[in-house]
Structure 1
Amino acid sequence: MKKAVQFGAGNIGRGFIGALLSQSGYHVVFADVVDKIIDKINEDKTYTVHVMDVECEDQKIENISGVNSTKPEAVDEIASADLVTTAVGLVILPRIAPTIAAAIEKRMADGNKEPMNIIACENAIRGTSQLKKAVYENLSEEGKAFADEYVGFPDCAVDRIVPPVKSENFIDVVVEEYYEWDVERASFKGEIPEIKGMTLVDDLMAYIERKLFTLNTGHCITSYLGKLRGFPTIDAAIADEEIYDIVSKAMKESGDGLIKKHGFDPEKHAAYIKKIIGRFKNPYLQDDVSRVGREPLRKLSPTDRLISPLTTAAGYGLPVDHLLVGVGAALHYDNPEDKQSVELQAKIKEQGVREAAKEITQLTDEKLLDAIVAEYEKLA
């Protein structure tokens, strides 16, 4: 039987990628540091994905096991796997790289020349490429040559809202019906696996940016404005007419930049925006604004969901007024339980809004920086 190792047994790992792999006939080994979750997976050998949307459905996920990702057993599991996927967050990828590298070295030592593919399913641009770089830093020269020949690292774009809704069984997961998993065709090694819900694409960057600068851009602006207005959840925030207006116009501004850059069909992209913003209204998800807004420094970085669509659209001379509101709102994100939020607010207090924004976003356009400060002050 085919085997996949899914790094990250959190809600996204269980509710999205791990579930699809199980439904595609893989035995899925969840690798995580949380022993409580791993022990429960090994005890029950099943969990339920509750699809909560216009139509609701319960999906029983079976043929699973778990392993602590810091233990030697994790290396053994990867070394005998056909596929490795991740849903751990971009900052964690370098931490799991040594384990993956050790497994590749073991495959080489064992003479296992069956192709293995590794896909980082993260909300980031070319997350797999970033993981590959970290893995290769931990490989011997012989291991690198072996990986070059037998280990594929396809990049991908993923999209599914999986909020931290508590279930009676703590490993059950609540998800929305919609999902998208676009994977780069050319980077696979060996025969491309048939996986439910996985779409093979040739121009991946267009799909990555379409998702990141539509869903993620709109989602985080909704969260930051919602938190400022005192709304607890995304669906409550987007129900506010003024927030809806700002978010929808920001998504259009981002979309106009994408249409120019990638040649998207304007009508189809407008329909895509409408579908995405409609997902924010799903009352079943109860997605907390603090969760969606977490790690603001990452989200305000030059290549991420706020600044990149801003500079892309501005670079084509297109309006960016509502994207600027989103950046101003992000700078207000104040959550004592979020390390990056604490650091953000400390920077603003020490340096002032303009200098802090300049350092974090790496913007050099003085007019854009002035406009961000103006929007920040309007929201104060």
Structure 2
Amino acid sequence: MSTLAPPRLDRTLSSAPAAPPVRIVHLGIGNFHRAHQAWYTWRAPDGAGWGIAAFTGRRPDAAEALAPQDGLYTLITRSADADRFELIGSLAEVRPAADHDRFLELLAAPETALVTITVTEAGYRLGADGHLADSEPVRADVEALRADSRAAVTTTPGKLVAGLLARRAAGSGALTILSCDNLPHNGEVARTVVSDLAAQLDAGLVDWIDDHVEFASSMVDRITPATTEADRDLVVESQGYRDASPVPTEPFSEWVVAGSFPAGRPAWEAAGARLVDDVAPYEQRKLTLLNGSHSLMAYAGSIRGHESIDEAIADPAVRGWVEAFWDEAEPHLLLSGTQIADYRTALLERYRNPRIRHRLAQIAADGSAKIGVRILPTVRAERAAGRRPTGCATVLAAWVLHLRGAGAPINDAGGQPYVAAAAAEDVRDAVQAVIARLDTTLGTDQTLVDAVVRQTERLRDRS
């Protein structure tokens, strides 16, 4: 490598594309969005006309890294034996969440046709009853918007409602909000929390949303680890420029989308996305088999001393737990036959890729928002069938031990009530309290509690 400093990545490089006009606003810019929706948009044949203005979540880091690069970044697609590099230019702007005035300006603009979201399950502020949670941050947003429709707000539902108020005031017409998070029926979840918050402000706004806003759904799938300094050095060595925020990812990618998109959308299907009438079967398969086994490995694998998915799946004990969980879940999936068998085979191949260091600690974050959607549907189905769900019990047992301090460190915005429940001196009391917080009915199911307690003992014996 030359001793001269390499050029910084920006749109002055001869190979860099011009910034596309903004037509999409994205909430929750991170590595996954850049490896997935932004990548599909850039690869679409009309992608040069669909620029994305992306806003960060809790931390401004992505904006601080990408704004000096004019939103450009390098996607490193990492197979087991080679790397492929792509310069992605779909991000026209990258801004911190605090830039609320620019967010409102973009939502009010008639050119904006889409809002996409990757804020994780916790970002929707969904309560146990399936509606917007009555939490202090939500109440603060409602009070702020009552006082001033342009007030800075902090929650995702609050931001969306603030943007829709600005759009209604500007008379800018139809808009699609497309959720790209790992939630069942994610479009309906987004509709519910936005409508619930809007109803606390202005009943007429709910009617306007019904008439002008589509809530589309999608299933997303691509394993995308965190960026390392080695990734940055690799870009310098192979591409000759310095990228502060390249994105490593795997070759596999899947995106299944359902929606009518009244204001238009990029031709994502030409880039490999699947447009369907109903996302649910694909969503259920992915949430259960991929995300469910990810949670299992994040907690059980880290308890056994592993740091990444490839290490965990190479452990025969962990591999056995994953297969048992899949066997338990498979009869309850909407897809069947080769659509499941081939998917399971593909998952094992993806997990074994030693060059995708997907850290278990990263996956373990925000378990309180994930376990309910990834694991409990199979638990309920197995108990309704009169069976003891040992595979699911292993996931729950590993999570309880995680909440008690074993394995990956706790990083969970909504986790404190579960940590408190798991702190009981007796493990059985801890298990029962944690399950009861997830589902009061399951908390009284002694067969399930017994199964989870038994698996905590086995996990501790084999750690």
Aligned residue number for residue 114 of structure 2: 83
The answer to whether the aligner puts 1:50 opposite 2:76 as a matched pair is: yes
Q: Structure 1's 91 and 326: CA in aligned 2 closer, same or farther, altered over 3 A?
A: closer
Aligned residue number for residue 29 of structure 1: 53
Aligned residue number for residue 171 of structure 2: 111
Aligned residue number for residue 98 of structure 1: 158
Contact map agreement 2:113 2:264 (CA 8 A) in 1:
no
Amino acid of the structure 1 residue aligned with 2:423: K
**1:134-159 deviation per Cα after TM superposition (whole angstroms, max 9, x unaligned):** 32223633332222222110122211
1:41 to 45, 63, 66: 66
Contact map agreement 1:294 1:341 (CA 8 A) in 2:
no
CA distance in 2 between partners of 1:346 and 1:140 (Å): 38
1:5 to 12, 18, 25: 25
1:358 to 431, 435, 441: 435
Contact map agreement 2:75 2:247 (CA 8 A) in 1:
yes
Aligned residue number for residue 147 of structure 1: 209
2:296 to 218, 221, 224: 221
Amino acid of the structure 1 residue aligned with 2:168: M
Task: Determine what percentage of the aligned residue pairs are the same residue.
Answer: 23
Task: Give ranges in structure 1 of 5+ residues lacking alignment.
Answer: none
Matched position secondary structure for 2:248: strand
Q: Structure 1's 319 and 276: CA in aligned 2 closer, same or farther, altered over 3 A?
A: farther
CA displacement at 1:225 relative to structure 2: 1.9
Aligned residue number for residue 4 of structure 2: none
CA displacement at 1:317 relative to structure 2: 4.5
Q: Structure 1's 36 and 332: CA in aligned 2 closer, same or farther, altered over 3 A?
A: closer
Aligned residue number for residue 307 of structure 1: 376
Aligned residue number for residue 364 of structure 2: 293
Matched position secondary structure for 1:118: strand
Q: Structure 1's 272 and 123: CA in aligned 2 closer, same or farther, altered over 3 A?
A: same
CA distance in 2 between partners of 1:266 and 1:315 (Å): 23
CA displacement at 1:204 relative to structure 2: 2.0
Matched position secondary structure for 2:353: coil
Counterparts in 2 of 1:1-380, with a 5 A limit? 1=21, 3-24=23-44, 25=47, 26-33=50-57, 34-45=59-70, 46-54=72-80, 56-63=83-90, 64-70=92-98, 71-80=100-109, 81-94=112-125, 95-113=155-173, 115-136=174-195, 137-138=197-198, 140-166=202-228, 167-168=231-232, 169-185=243-259, 188-191=261-264, 193-195=266-268, 196-258=271-333, 262=334, 264-301=335-372, 304-317=373-386, 320-333=389-402, 334=405, 335-339=408-412, 344-350=418-424, 352-362=429-439, 363=442, 364-380=444-460
CA distance in 1 between partners of 2:431 and 2:64 (Å): 48
Amino acid of the structure 2 residue aligned with 1:60: L
Matched position secondary structure for 1:300: helix
Q: Structure 1's 44 and 179: CA in aligned 2 closer, same or farther, altered over 3 A?
A: same
**1:187-220 deviation per Cα after TM superposition (whole angstroms, max 9, x unaligned):** 5435564223432222322221111001011111
Query: Is 230-239 or 160-169 further displaced after alignment?
Result: 160-169
CA distance in 2 between partners of 1:318 and 1:105 (Å): 50
Aligned residue number for residue 133 of structure 2: none
Contact map agreement 1:218 1:277 (CA 8 A) in 2:
no
CA distance in 2 between partners of 1:267 and 1:325 (Å): 26
**1:337-374 deviation per Cα after TM superposition (whole angstroms, max 9, x unaligned):** 42466654442222723322332332143211211111
CA distance in 2 between partners of 1:22 and 1:101 (Å): 28
Contact map agreement 2:26 2:116 (CA 8 A) in 1:
yes
Amino acid of the structure 2 residue aligned with 1:56: D
Contact map agreement 1:101 1:135 (CA 8 A) in 2:
yes
Number of aligned residue pairs: 372
Contact map agreement 2:25 2:52 (CA 8 A) in 1:
yes
CA distance in 2 between partners of 1:99 and 1:343 (Å): 26
Q: CA RMSD in A?
A: 2.3
Contact map agreement 2:122 2:366 (CA 8 A) in 1:
no
Matched position secondary structure for 1:280: helix
Amino acid of the structure 2 residue aligned with 1:374: R
CA distance in 2 between partners of 1:319 and 1:367 (Å): 7
Larger radius of gyration: 2
Contact map agreement 1:47 1:60 (CA 8 A) in 2:
yes
CA distance in 1 between partners of 2:435 and 2:68 (Å): 50
Q: Structure 1's 112 and 344: CA in aligned 2 closer, same or farther, altered over 3 A?
A: closer
Amino acid of the structure 2 residue aligned with 1:62: G
